[in-house]
Structure 1
Amino acid sequence: MSTAGNRPPGPEGRRDRWIEAPPADPGAGDAGGVARVRTVAAARELLRAKGRTTQAGFTAERIPRRLFRRRPILIDDGPEHDAHRKQLTRFFAPAKLGEQHGAFIEQAAREAVQAARSRGGCLVDELALHYSVRVASRIVGLTHAPVERLATRLTRFFRQPPVDHTKPDHGRTRAEWARAARDALGPLLALYVRDVRPAIRARRRRPEADIISHLLERGYRSGEILVECLTYGTAGMVTTREFISAACWHLMERAPLRERYLAAEAVERHAVLEEIIRLEPPVGHLYRRVRAAEDFSWTQGSRDGAPDGCPFQPGTLVDIDVRAANLDREVFGAHPERMRPERELPAADRVGLSFGDGAHRCPGSSLAMLETDALLLALLRAQPVMRTPPAVEWDTLIEGYRLRGFRIEFRDAASS
């Protein structure tokens, strides 16, 4: 769904969030009731309620448990999920990322920008796609095919009919579910044959410091590794690709902010990026299903209480509105809709809920910031000129924006 027409802010007082979600369907969630959460405190309490709620986003509830001995980390819950997440910290801890992948990420950023300069320009979303897939594939271990072909397989998988998580059967008809399965099968099979199977064979012979080797060590079967690779590959591609485009858009349109960013040290640059991702979260809604009766502290007399007829009892679907929560005045202070990287906030609050919270908080948040910073620094130092601003579309599966057609050119295409 296109929401083109978003424009950069004008006079003082205008919101600095440029990307607006399409209007909500007024009938969404009528069947069965949906509780809606719009503040950080309420969302965190819900997301941290271990054993009392389960993942209900990304069509997780449509995936039969019998398909896996080990459920994919994106849609799993419980002690095994928590243990697996804890083991993954060694791949995504900031110090480890810098030590093992920092030089590679900076080199990949320079090479991506140099290739774009040699062509005289590029689409930012394509530049971000191939760069983010290159980085993610190294960490996951999908290094047996050209990045462009891997990116094509991953993007094809997400060409799916729209969904509405608040409606019965996610708002899809039986025919649409059949079409979704059919359209996903080809890319999924190609991903396995061209990327995952060769990686599994290579890592069985010689393990490396990547996620596929880790999964093999834990006894994962090939099909389970395929789904995990899809999860990590697309998380590293889809959301990071869009955030890079959104951050580039803001920095190119705001000369003072761009100059500040280019002159700053890494800590201040990351503060700028954290403020942008707070205002423009790539995933706009998170969904949890209440599994155990719970009287959450905020359900009584609160603006986040359940609507009439929707108690927080087993079966309740809770829609956490990330975009609304990220403008919570109680956390972000006066004028939360304005971009102010100098906000004095605890580290845990700087991005709001843009990376989620609790057991399903994005484990790759540090990687997303590191690789976004590296690419934008290389790109902006090359002094690009925006020729076409991005058109804004909406991805209903991840409840996030897509920025397409964002074209830049370079005044001087000489080698840097």
Structure 2
Amino acid sequence: MELSGVSESAALLRAKGATTQAGFTSERIPGWLFRHRPILMDDGPGHLEHRKRLVRFFSPRTLEDTHRAFIERTAAGLVDAAKREGSSRIDDLALFFSVRVASEIVGLSGGDTEALARRLEAFFRQPPVDHTRRDHGRTQRQWARAAKDALVPLMSFYWRDVRPAIRARRARPADDIISHLLEHGYRPREILMECLTYGTAGMVTTREFMSMALLRLLQDSELRARYLGAEIAERTEMLSEIIRLEPPVSHIYRRVASPAPGCPYAPDTLVDINVRRANVDPEVFGPDPEAIETGRGLPAAARTGLSFGDGAHRCPGSHLALMETDTLLVTLLRAGATLERQPDRGFDTLVQGYQLRGLVVSFTAPAAAP
């Protein structure tokens, strides 16, 4: 069952208790492994309570008051280093930047974040999957290979990054997610999976969006001039339009548990929400939905369409993703970044999103600040 309209898709995602997570191969993960199931793959009252406790780490006020200065310093440092080199491969720069920011909020900031980023990246080098099939389109041999290929980077991530952070936070709690999880009785394996979720959310989706948004701006001089001349609120609205048109996750999969208002489908039905098609729904975005326009008159949460999901699994880091993307792009463009090499385009079947690799910028005279 495929849905491609905003209204019907949002209704399904908001239908409490009606569906369960069916993306990211979550249905293959045994429930007995965890007393606290990872937030990305959990559903029900426990999931909602977990989200309520975690939302404060990603609220707009917390990000402004606690993290904006760090995000700006990190972007400035990385771009300054890139300028000294004369050019930069953006998928690498965006990887290191997004993982460094996520690590600060999660509590993994005690080590080498570039090495951490590479460990997380290695975890996702797996055989392709097909979420519409019960076996996810993999043979038993491919599942065995996926488990083997994931185990080494996962264990390296635990021993080099997560375990030292757990020890540090047990000795001295801080205002971060690992300290929060320890306070609520999470075991090391459960903290590992939460760290993997937050670390890879920043790496896999935000990294790709940073590259895509920068590419859009570099290819459109008028749009770039508007962006650089705008204040933060308008720039954020422009980025909301870009992520609506270029969603890093193009399909959301849910399995029907029981029919409910907003979910009139039979139990066990796999529902495929086509995010890219829903995000150009003319009933919501007007007669020219594929244009990048500000002032559509939509609430902030609706401007991005379904790019951050909706309902109980709406991405809690949506404000963070837009803030750090804006910070990095403004820093690059004001430093004079110009397009040197077009990226190679691929598709990650696990997250159902695009991959841009090899986008290279060089640095010329800095663009004029507004």
Question: TM-score, normalised to structure 1's length?
Answer: 0.87
- Report whether the alignment pairs 1:158 with 2:124: yes
Q: Which residue of 2 aligns with 1:387?
A: 340
Superposed CA offset, 1:149-168 (max 9, x none): 00000000000000000012
Work out the CA distance in 1 between the residues paired with 2:324 and 2:259.
41
Aligned residue pair count: 367
SS at match of 1:169: coil
- 2:244 aligned residue: 278
2:184 equivalent to 1:218: yes
Identity rate of aligned residues, in percent? 60
CA displacement, residues 153-208 of structure 1 (integer Å, 9 cap, x when unaligned): 00000000000000121111100000000000000000000000000000000000
Are the aligned partners of 1:331 and 1:349 in contact in 2 as well (CA < 8 Å)?
Answer: no
- Alignment match, 2:282: 329
Structure-to-structure mapping, 1:231-380, within 5 angstroms: 231-294=197-260, 296=262, 312-380=265-333
Shift of 1:99: 0.5
Q: How much does 1:296 deviate?
A: 4.0
Whether the aligned pair in 2 keeps the contact of 1:133 and 1:147 (CA below 8 Å) is yes
Distance in 2 of aligned mates of 1:200 and 1:150: 16
Instruction: Supply the distance in 2 between the matched residues of 1:349 and 1:229 (Cα, whole angstroms).
Output: 28
Question: Aligned with 2:94: secondary structure?
Answer: helix
Matched, 1:130 2:83: no
RMSD: 1.3
The answer to whether 1:104 aligns with 2:70 is yes
Mark the runs of 5 or more structure 2 residues left unpaired by the alignment.
none
Amino acid at match of 2:210: I
State the AA in 2 paired with 1:53: T
Shift of 1:144: 2.4
CA distance in 1, matches of 2:294, 2:91: 24
Per the alignment, in what secondary structure is the counterpart of residue 58 of structure 1? coil
Corresponding residue for residue 37 of structure 2: 71
Partner secondary structure for residue 105 of structure 1? helix
C-alpha displacement of 1:294: 4.1
Gaps in structure 1 of 5+ consecutive residues:
1-34, 300-311
- Tell me if the contact between 1:56 and 1:287 (Cα under 8 Å) persists in the aligned partners: yes
Give the whole-Å Cα distance in 2 for the aligned partners of 1:180 and 1:229.
20
Higher relative contact order (CA 8 A, sep 6+): 1
Does structure 2 retain, via aligned residues, the 8 Å contact 1:38–1:320? yes
Helix, strand or coil at the partner of 1:401: strand
Structure 2 counterpart of 1:92: 58
Q: 1:168 is paired with a residue of what secondary structure?
A: coil
1:54 alignment counterpart = 20
Aligned equivalent of 1:115? 81
TM-score, normalising length: structure 2:
0.97
Partners of 1:293 and 1:361 lie apart in 2 by: 21
Task: State the distance in 2 between where 1:100 and 1:383 align.
Answer: 29
Structure with the bigger percentage of helix: 2
CA distance in 2, matches of 1:361, 1:168: 25
Aligned to 1:189: 155
